[in-house]
Amino acid sequence: MTRSSGDTDARTLDGKTAIVTGAASGIGRAIAIRFASAGARVGVLDIDEPAAAAVVREITEAGGAAVAGRCDVTLAADVASAFDAVHSRFGPLDALVTSAGVAHVGTVEQTSEADLDRVYAVNVKGVYHALKAGVAAMKGRGGAILNIASIASSVGIADRFAYSMSKGAVLTMTYSVARDYIHDKIRCNCVAPARIHTPFVDGYLARNYPGREQEMFEQLSRTQPIGRMGEPEEVAELALFLCSDAASFITGSNFPIDGGFASLKM
């Protein structure tokens, strides 16, 4: 796959095997494509297998190497099987990005037990399953892990009770893995995006604000001090850096990518 002209030697993933969960759309898709363009062989894992296969076609048509796998991250057996399949195809794991996740809107009163269980199963237990499989694959040789957290991990966001709970857990799991496996040469970091313009955002606006999509999109965009939503490709660039040798001195860190939301909000 042709690399972008901005790549430097330290930021390439040549000869490395990467797995991205939730890679069929949004941030995960952008990361999988960017990793492939940087030379990685990518396992594109998602519960939506046809969409994952479409991402693989996009990568391979551009000259990259990727394989799709159906993976329900809430099931440990699914995760283990998918990781094994990537290993069989591309060899030992070097980089893991846990991007699979679901959203929920609501206060604690508006969050049902079923809502909470669903968010926990994907965003917390799903990350746990991927981390457990990833650490086991990297022990003895090292590697880089990147979790996709959220500004909701550390900033109070209205009507995001269950989602904030889950992303707070992602942040603290990042710290724990970084501390426990530093002597195994496994680095673990996370990124904390604010609003990123993904298909989820468009679907949310269409469902909740029919006929007012553009108006509400602009309103949500203005909640970032920088005046717009982020793009998945911008998160992917940060992910590439953190999973590359250029970031070899970075572990146990959380990187906001939020247009100034957390630090500049008035």
pLDDT tens digits for 165-203? Answer: 999 999 999 999 999 999 999 999 999 999 999 888 888
CA distances from 172 to 27, 137, 153 (A): 21, 21, 9
**203 compared with 90, residue with greater pLDDT:** 90
pLDDT of res. 265: 67
Superfamily for domain range 11-194+231-258:
NAD(P)-binding Rossmann-like Domain (3.40.50.720)
What pLDDT digit, counting tens, does each position of 112-153 carry? Answer: 999 999 999 999 999 999 999 999 999 999 999 999 999 999
Structure confidence at residue 241 as a pLDDT band (50, 70, 90): very high
What pLDDT digit, counting tens, does each position of 3-12 carry? Answer: 554 445 577 9
pLDDT of res. 98: 98
Do 28 and 100 form a contact (C-beta atoms < 8 A)? yes
Task: Write the CB contacts of 162 (distance below 8 Å, at least 6 apart in sequence).
Answer: 104, 106, 111, 115, 116, 119, 120
What positions carry a catalytic annotation? 163
| Distance (Å, whole) CA 127 – CA 96 | 11
Average pLDDT (44-65) is 98
**Residue among 74, 179, 93, 168 at smallest CA distance from 136:** 93
What six digits make up the tokens of 115?
């809502």
Q: How far apart are the first and last CA of the chain?
A: 43
Average pLDDT (79-83) is 98
**Residue among 151, 172, 174 at smallest CA distance from 163:** 151
Average pLDDT (222-243) is 95
Secondary structure, 3-state, 179-212:
HHCHHHCEEEEEEEECCECCHHHHHHHHHHCCCC
pLDDT of res. 7: 47
User: One-letter amino acid identity for 216?
Assistant: M
Average pLDDT (208-216) is 89
What pLDDT digit, counting tens, does each position of 99-110 carry? Answer: 999 999 999 999
pLDDT of res. 3: 53
Q: Which residue has the tokens 């009163």?
A: 109
- In the predicted model, what is the mean pLDDT of the chain? 94
Average pLDDT (40-58) is 98
Domain boundaries, the chain: 11-194+231-258, 197-229
- In 22-173, which ranges are E strands? 41-46, 65-70, 95-98, 143-148
Helix or strand or coil: residue 68? Answer: strand
Percent of the chain with pLDDT over 70: 96
| Distance (Å, whole) CA 148 – CA 170 | 8
